[in-house]
């Protein structure tokens, strides 16, 4: 089974997920989503694969969210646009295999996901 990890190298949880994939000796591709940015269609597809609405994959503790947007009533379409504009707002890491995926936070989510595939 091949995996794709949407990775932020500055994030400890993301680095931990990458290490787990290496430890499990599975084939995987790394995409640094802060450099290889999502467009609307690709982010919608990822969210569909992991079964999450934009608000469910949003990092609400990011400074930009707390300072600029947390006090506003924002719908799912607008959250999606913000995630594209500010990719740090996307929860990480995300691991995909075929048409299934998971937010690998906590790491147990990824262990369960690998165990089922």
Q: Is 51 a catalytic residue?
A: no
DSSP string over 28-95: EEEEETTTS---HHHHHHHHHHHT--GGGGB-TTSHHIIIIITTS---HHHHHHHHHH-GGGB-S-EE
Given the residues 2, 8, 11, 116, the one annotated as active site:
11
Burial string for 73-105 (b: 16+ CB within 10 Å, else e) reads ebeeeebbebbbeebbbbbbbbbbbeeebbbbb
* C-alpha–C-alpha distance, residues 5 and 29, integer Å: 6
The residues annotated as belonging to the active site are 11
């Amino acid at each position: 089974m091949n995996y794709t990890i949407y990775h932020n190298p500055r994030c400890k949880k993301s680095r931990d997920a990458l290490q787990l994939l290496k430890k499990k000796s599975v084939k995987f591709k790394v995409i640094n989503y802060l450099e290889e940015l999502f467009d609307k269609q690709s982010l919608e597809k990822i969210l569909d694969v992991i079964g999450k609405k934009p608000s469910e994959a949003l990092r609400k503790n990011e400074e930009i969210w707390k300072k600029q947007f947390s006090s506003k009533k924002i719908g799912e379409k607008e959250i999606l646009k913000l995630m594209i504009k500010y990719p740090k707002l996307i929860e990480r890491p995300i691991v995909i295999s075929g048409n299934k995926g998971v937010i690998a936070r906590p790491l147990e989510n990824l262990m369960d996901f690998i165990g089922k595939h």
